[in-house]
């Protein structure tokens, strides 16, 4: 299981991830409210004939 820091559960950051896959539409309200902490849900419009990226790099620097 991959760890996605809660600090990154931001609409702008999730939108950037969605734009890598296709045309970002919105972040679901349950994700904005962080009601389900195992996954984040976004709507993305995409051409299903295009391949999905195998990997999306997210650079994150924790400020301690």
pLDDT at 28: 92
pLDDT tens per residue across span 4-53: 777 778 899 899 999 998 999 999 998 888 887 778 889 999 998 988 88
Phi and psi angles of residue 24, each rounded to the nearest 5 degrees, phi first:
-65, 135
**Nearest to residue 14, comparing CAs of 61, 56, 48, 62?**
56
Cα(56)–Cα(53) distance, integer angstroms: 7
- CB of 53 closer than 8 Å to CB of 20: yes
Cα(2)–Cα(4) distance, integer angstroms: 6
Q: Read off the pTM.
A: 0.75
Instruction: Give the confidence band of 64 by pLDDT, cuts at 50, 70, 90.
Output: low
Q: Does the pLDDT at position 1 exceed 60?
A: no
């Amino acid at each position: 299981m991959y760890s996605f820091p809660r600090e990154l559960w931001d609409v702008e950051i999730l939108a950037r991830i969605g734009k890598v896959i296709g045309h970002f539409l919105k972040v679901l309200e349950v994700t904005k409210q962080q009601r389900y902490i195992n996954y984040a849900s976004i709507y993305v419009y995409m051409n299903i004939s295009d391949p999905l990226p195998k990997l999306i790099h997210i650079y994150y620097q924790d400020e301690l």
